[in-house]
Chain A
């Protein structure tokens, strides 16, 4: 059950990133900021989306850019956050 849920979250995040970042190859662990394809403004856009889509609240303690830098880390962050709330 959990696995299925995770897959769907990952798929939603993937789809959002594919739609909003101009990148040809896109591995699950590619760092979108390190690779230069996204910047701090996109990070805000992404956080805005994540809060609305997954009904989570990102606080000052969550402001570590690593939480938002790969498909895997974003998925993990969202799932952890949802479990806590």
Chain B
């Protein structure tokens, strides 16, 4: 009797106490309303800084209003998905705000994508309009859709006042494609209120003011970019756009932070590691003194990176480091952990759920308690509506009406992350690995299955296994193990270049007559991994 009582109290702890995250926010507004309130309040304040030029709140508002009017005249309605394919520039911001003001949802497409992938995303999403720029090559777009150049002066004429609002907070705001294990990337639909909840939490936890500047350095087709693109705009702060392509270089980041007094920035942990090694023992640290807060997400954060951060940026500049975690399917981030500044830690958890978010750790349909490993499942206001035009996949990943035995409680809807995790006694969550073959390379989410199924479509290939393996601290290599033996590597590589972005291309090929199997007839991945 006493034992069952303690189990009950522990179930209560992990389902209720650790998930005590209810917090009020502007649930009845859209992101555009919040931005327009700031335009009204501080029209002449700087909003966007890019390559020594500036746009005020008023200018950004008027330009995006003109784009929005044009889009509405083209028939854009609530939830019309509009593609945008531009470099990091004023036009990127004007285009995104313009699409939202028109009532649509923006779908960011990388200008560096191979043409097959661009066309795949365009035809999967059925976008009627693509916003682009004259410096972006769009000759490889084969679909029948309207292409508009955002740097065409003729776009910026006519009425520049705010448009009547047509959206509800439950309308979608953006669609971001992520790697799909069956070979085709999938579009994740995120609604306005989810985005507002995420931004509101961030402002509560790490408040910024009009004097702050956020560095926008994450490519806009990854969802980390979403808070960089919108957070400042609902507060009255500024965003500084890092020169396109220069997010790879510490020298460019240092120079931009110093020049524009950037106070907030984000890194993927592996990039932060390389960045910290670069600035170590040098004058560079002084040049970064305006940085107040650094966020990391996208990969597991190691204690050595935290220690290195504390020895450099924290010790000299009092900069703080927070570890965020979340899948695209739950609106950017769903948990946070503030890294300790003095005492050393033996692991870095992904922390506690953010506002209006609940975590459940589940294995074999059973709720797991403190210290027990299981799949991390997320419920709450951050949940995506699902995948665009993929009802089956949506039903598989977003589970509805899940009953927790012994607790007379039902979870209305949760998302299965595929991440293994466990609760720590203090309510933090520890990340333990993946259930499937999704890997992260430099923070980029890659389904090895997507590479495999694309390779299998090449004529003559009978089977294929793709593995990722670290070859050094900074290099992770993708291995493609292909059967039969007599194929030509160059031809396969050339074919893949048309379909997969650079970061998903195999670095090494191994040709075998047949794949090794385990005793129960499955491909022996472990053996292959050891021999690569």
Contact = CB atoms under 8 A, between A and B. Distances in A.
Interface of A: 20-22, 36-45, 47-48, 58-60, 62-63
Given A44-B274, A45-B474, 19 more contacts: A21-B475, A22-B477, A36-B477, A36-B505, A37-B477, A38-B475, A39-B503, A41-B442, A41-B474, A42-B472, A44-B249, A44-B250, A44-B277, A44-B278, A45-B274, A47-B251, A60-B255, A63-B249, A63-B252
Contacts of A47: 250-251, 278
B250 A20 contact: no
Nearest to A45: B474
A44 B472 contact: no
Interface in B468-506: 471-475, 477, 503, 505-506
Contacts of B508: 36
B270 A41 contact: yes
B100 to A, nearest CB: 31
Interface string B504-522: 0111100000000000000
Interface in B435-482: 442, 471-475, 477
A22 B248 contact: no
Contact of A39 (B246, B277, B442): B442
B275 interface: yes
A45 B271 CA distance: 10
A45 B250 CA distance: 10
A20 B271 CA distance: 17
Contacts of A48: 274, 277-278
Contacts of B277: 44-45, 48
Interface string B79-109: 0000000000000000000000000000000
Given A36-B507, A48-B277, A59 B251 contact: yes
B267 to A, nearest CB: 11
B251 A22 contact: no
Given A20-B472, A60-B251, A41 B274 contact: yes
Contact of B475 (A42, A58, A62): A42
Nearest to A59: B251
B52 to A, nearest CB: 13
Chain B: interface size category? 20 to 34
Contact of A63 (B251, B472, B507): B251
The 3 A-B residue pairs with the shortest CB-CB distance in the complex, in nearest-first order: A41-B474, A44-B274, A36-B507
Contacts of B507: 36-37
A50 to B, nearest CB: 11
B475 A41 contact: yes
Interface in B252-286: 252, 255, 270-271, 274-275, 277-278
Nearest to B503: A39
Contact of A40 (B248, B251, B477, B506): B248
A59 B249 CA distance: 10
Contacts of B473: 45
Contacts of A21: 472, 475
Contacts of B471: 22
B127 to A, nearest CB: 30
Contacts of A37: 475, 477, 507
A62 B255 CA distance: 13
Contacts of A41: 270-271, 274, 442, 474-475
B272 to A, nearest CB: 11
A20 B249 CA distance: 19
Nearest to A61: B251
A52 B475 CA distance: 21
10 contacts: A36-B507, A39-B442, A41-B475, A42-B474, A42-B475, A44-B250, A45-B473, A59-B255, A60-B251, A60-B252
A22 B474 contact: no
B498 to A, nearest CB: 16
A39 B249 CA distance: 12
Residue among A20, A47, A58, A63 with max Cβ neighbours from chain B (10 Å): A63
B442 A40 contact: yes
A50 B252 CA distance: 17
Contacts of B477: 22, 36-37
Contacts of A40: 248, 442
